[in-house]
Structures are given as C-alpha cells and as structure tokens.
Structure 1
Amino acid sequence: MNEPADTSFRDAHFAAIVANSTDAIVSKDLNGVVISWNAAAERLFGWTAEEMIGESIRRIIPSDRQDEEDSILARVRAGELITKFETVRQTKAGAPVPIAVTVSPIRDAEGKIVGASKIAHDLREHSTLRQELRESQQQFAALAQNIPQLAWMADGKGWIYWYNQRWYDYTGTTLEQMQGWGWRDVHHPEHVDRVVERIQHSWDTGEVWEDTFPLRGADGEFRWFLSRANPLKDDEGNVLLWCGTNTDITEQREASERITLLMREVNHRARNMLSTVQAIVNRTASASDSELADALLRRIAALSANQNLLNEGDWVGAVVADIVASQILHVGDIAEGRIHTGRRDQVMLKPGPAEALGLAIHELATNAAKYGALANDTGEIDVTWGFEGEGEDRRFVMEWRERGGPPVEKPERKGFGTTIIERNPAFAMRADVTLDFDPAGLVWRISAPYDSAIAPDLSDISRPEAD
C-alpha cells in the first residue's frame, strides 16, 4: 500500500542529490545521447540542460579523444563498471577541462542495460596545484643540482635521506651507501669523531651546525670543506628537516696558509730591521745624546710590540686590551697596581688604528712616568674604552685619565710626542682627539667612527671583560 509513496520519496531524494551535487552527473543511452544533465554539469561545461538533453555526449569530447567514447559505450554494453580515470573534455567555448570520470551501466526493471551514468569531477584546481608542484620540483632540482656546493637533507632526527648529484660526483658513492650515517665513511678518520659529536649536538638541540673538515673524493684524495646545516622548524619550534651544504675551501685554505707564511716572513724581516735600527741608534746617538737615543729606542720597541700583536692576529687587527697591556710594559715596575681599567669592551681594531693607538698609549705611559701620575708614589691612571651611540652614529671611544700625580702644566711647545698622541690617531681612524692638561691630571680622549676603527670580523662583538 505504501510502495508508491516510498518510490516517490526515493525518486525525490535521488533527484535532490543529483541536483545539488558539486560533481557533474550525466546519464545517456547506449548511443551516447544525453538523457539528464544536472546543474553542476551546466557549471562545468557551460552547456545548459536544454542544450544538451537529446544531443550526443560527443559534443563535449575533443576530436582527438572520440575513441574514448567508443570504448566507454562498448564497456557499458558489456555491463562493466568503469572506475575513475582522468581525461579531458571541453566547454561550450571550446576550452579544455581536466576531469576525473566514473561510468556505471544503468539497468531497467528487468536488469537490461539501457544506458550509462557518468560522474565527472572537476580537476582544474587539482591540475593547477600539480603543475605548480611540478614546477616547484623542477626549480628545486635545477637549484640543488647546479649549486657549486655539495648539498643534502636530513629528517628532524638527523637521518640523511637525500644528496644532490654533486655529492655523488665528488665522493663516488650512492644513496644506499650514504643515507643515514653512511656519510661517516668519506670523512677523515682523524676528524670524524669530532664531527659526529658536534653534529649530534645540533641534532639534539636544534641549533645551527657549522664545522670545517676534510672529505674524501672518488679519487681517494681529501679536500677541505666548510659545512653548514640549518633546521626547518614548525610553528611550535619542532625541527621538521635539516638542509645542509658542504663548500670546498681547499684553495682558500691553502691561499690563507701561504699568506700566513708570507706575513710571518715579513714580520720576521721587519723585526730584524727594527733590531738593526736599534743597534744603529745605540751606536750613533747614545754617546752624543742619550735622551734622544732612549726615546727612539722606546718608540721602536713600541712599534715592534704592535707588529707582534698584528702578526698574531694574521694582520686582521689587534685587541685593544692586548695593545694597552703590551704598551705599558716598559713602565710596569712603577705602574703595577696603579693603572686601572674600568669599562672595557672586547674590541679589535683594524691594523692602522691599532698601530696608531699603540704608539699613543706608549707615549702617554712614558710621559706619565716622567711628568704625570706615575712620577710620584701616589698617582694613578684610569683607562677605559668601549662604544657610544647606535647605528650609523656608533663610535669607538677611549679615555686615559690621570689623577693624584704632580700638578699638570700645559707644555709651551708641541713636540713629536704630541704628534704621536694626537695627530696619528686622528689620521689613522678619523678620530676626534682631545688632550686636556687639567692641573688635577692629564685627560686624553679619542672618539672614532665605528667603521673607521673596528676590524670587520669582530664588528658585532661588544661584551664586557673581567677587570
């Protein structure tokens, strides 16, 4: 009694599903003539139901894919369900549309196949994403395979699962040999334990890794590499993967070693020359003018001390604390416990400013021993240095302040010592130099532009030292 109502409900339910589906749902007879065409099909292909019902489905099939319809109809007649496959159809305007299609036979009440239903899913967005992914993969491959470095990637735990082709070309290995911890096999046995320890620390902590070590090439020879790895983290700070590179620095390392040897040779010869000059001064001037000879010898010694510091730093520069310490040694006996350093930043000066500052400190210490705070038993000296200002206005400042010595008198004339104290630093580091002959104690102060004074490799360091 209720079957007609139930049938009516099922038909309405089915019609609602078809009408509101986001996929195109189409039915056709065994000749390919369209019987139904839902709203999604209208949106996808641009043809209205009125335009398509009663017409061949071949209208939306490109000419080079007409054989697909022949195959579909044959398989439907044979009762076959055609599972989802990707193909291309065309809109009313002739534009290609990538779709995924599923085709099912339609049977009448007696089970006879009378047509087919087709569900078409729009793949345009999916296709765009796949194309973008392909392009991204191609770009990554082009970059990874053409950079001059050896490159690799590891998971969040440090298991290396990918190397670029340059790694394989250089090491002569395969991924099977190198994945995970296999890379240890191409490390120098004298360095591998150190490398493993340091890189494991980064794997455990998520800190950026950097190290320098030799790697064995396919020819059996070792070359030096500067190696770095950076973690890629999620929003919670968890490491997702590591990206690493190894840069061949063998030539740079060898060139640096040659330069170091040459600089040492130059420094050795310069010291010999200074020793010769000292001997000449001793033999020529000491008998006739011992005071002049003494002043010349002291200044030559100051130059030699500066040169030693610069040589130890490979002529990159010299640390201010070391400059001060080396240039007050000649007054060490009387200065012990009387020269104090207050605020001191760790500062490395460029070679030119370092030499000028060293000579100035030497001259100030000499004058203090003769006429200033070190000329009696009670005077003291405060030496401070550091930075002032920010950004482009940042400056290196240094002050030598004497107190407790004999009353200070301004000299009637300026001699060579004044040139060393004032003009040399001003010229070498474009500094503003002030020399105040305060009766209570001499005050010497310099203020130099940051970029003019500070060695580039330590330009960002400013940390307090212990006094």
Structure 2
Amino acid sequence: MSISDDQRHERQVQRRLRQLEADVEAAQPGHNAAAFLAAIVESSDDAIVSKSLSGVITTWNKGAERLFGYTVDEAIGKPITIVIPPDRLDEEPAILARIQAGERVHHFETIRQRKDGTLIDISLTISPIRDGNGKIIGASKIARDISERKRAAEHQELLLREMHHRVKNLFAITGSIITLAARTAKTTTDLAAGLKDRLMALSRAHEMTLPSLNGEAATGVPQSTLFRLLSNVLAPYERDGANRWLLMGDDIDVSGTKITNFALLFHEFATNAAKYGALSVEEGKLDIAVTVKGEILEIVWLESNGPRHDAPESHSIGFGSRLEQIIGQSLGVDISREWMQNGLSIRLSVPRGVISD
C-alpha cells in the first residue's frame, strides 16, 4: 500500500525528532532535551501551533508566522478561530471533541485564512497534548501549505477533462467522415484515399488547437487566426516553394472550438480545386479575400485560370455538400457558389461571433 507525500513527510520529521532527542541524550545523559526540541520546532518550515482545549493559542512558531501572517505576539492568547474562515468555524468544535477523546487527526485537508484575508489550502495533523499524568490538556497542530499541490491537481484534472472532451469529439467527427465518405465513394480505393486525406486535414486542424503546440496557456481556449488556418490547409498545394494561392483582407481570430469545422470545410474546397478547379492545372490561381462588415465576416474563395467547366444542372449531394449542410446549419454559415467560364467563386457569410467566440 503506497503512502502519500504528507505521510512520508510526517514520518521523516518524526524520525528526525526522535534521532535528535536520542543524540542529545547520548551526548549529555540526563540532560533535558526540551529546549533543544523547542528550537527545532521554532525553525521548522511547517506551521506548528499548540492550543488549549478551549481553543486558545498557546504557542506559535516562525512557520506559523510565515504561513498565516500573524506574529507570535499577535497570535498567542487569541482564539484559533482567527485563522478559520467564517464558513468553516464548525470544524473547530468537531476537532476539539476528537482531541478530548484522545484521537489524532491525520492529514485533514481544509482551508484557512491569512491575516490579510486571503485563503490558503492546508493539510492539518492534530495531536493531543498530555501532562505528566497522561491527562489531555491541549492540542498541537502541524499545518502544511498545499496550495501549490492543489493547483497542480486541479490543473491536471482540467487537462484530463479537456483530453476526454477532445477524444470524444475526434471520434464523433471521424465517425461522421467515414459514414459520409462511404456513401459517396465508388470504389474501396476512392474510399481509402478520401479518408486518408480528410483524416490528415483533421489531424492538422487538431494540432492547431493543442496548447502545447501553439503556445497558448493550457487553461485558456486555444486560438488560431483565419489566415494561419487557411495556410495550413493549402500548404500541400504549394509548388516549388511558391504559393499558388493568395490571402487578402482582414485576418481574424478563430476560436479553438471552431477550428476543426472550418478546417474541414476549407479542406473540401481545396480538394475539389485540386481535382477539378484552379489547383488542378499549372496556370490556375486561387485568391481568398476576407472582409469584416460589422458583425458579418465575408469570405470570397475565387478560383481563376482553371479548366473550363459549366455549372452542374443540379448540385450533387456528395461528402462536401453534406459537410456544408452540417456546418451551415450548426454555425449559421451561408455558402453560395457562382460558376464562371474558367473558375469558381464561393462566398461565405459568417456571423463574426460564431468564428471568434
């Protein structure tokens, strides 16, 4: 059975005290080691306090001064409740009752209050103090500041919840991609190739939302910008180190919760352009213009110098079309197309709050 850091620390302190007392006694037989042990208590990093059975402070070491902010003169003779927040005052009678019954309280985690009013997380170990006849006359408390440990534990829990949420979302999105691709693929080769491309796009989008990769605070909401998102999606279509695409206009932050949706949408546009449009020929060109108009973000995806093709008689319901429907309905994005003789214009109207909140 493993022991906690608090238990390990307490055992080390107790062993040290016993050894020091034994050393003093061995060096000076019959010498009273009380003064020596008192010096050790005074120099301890932990707050060590004693109180009477009525809850009045009787001793207060330097560690208690540092932890709670009260000097020895300010603390001794005062009720121990000076360091207990109002909403935790009911803890003291319960603790005193256990001490009077001869019990020892091990590693009781609670909150206490400093002189300046700030709250601290502490771990308390409380023991009865007995006189020479064994009668309980008070209690000693060892208080350790565990604020840093609590923050670390809360941070870890937050990261675990975030990881759980991300994994669930990724599986949900991956499931949708597989379902939609299976409906539209004509061969297993088409299905495999399509899934690979889309999952790689999803992976790139997911990387942009990871705090450890983009430098965002781990507890904050990761963000990218629209131009950075588009650059990542279009990076595979560079040729000889030169871009075949141009980004113009107003860049804007994209919330981490929206990056995946928009990355998949733009990936579908780019895939179609590479198969049938401007990115499928050497002289093809892609211009993307972004304009903020009040509370509306307007994005124009303009392909030119591409192969000649006419507008389809009816808009086919393939993967991209279904994806557009899903994103359009869930985020309120309006998408329209205009086919030209040697290109295509796609216009997106996005509520600004949707993309950046």
Q: What is the TM-score with the length of structure 1 in the denominator?
A: 0.38
Q: What is the TM-score with the length of structure 2 in the denominator?
A: 0.49
Larger Rg: 1
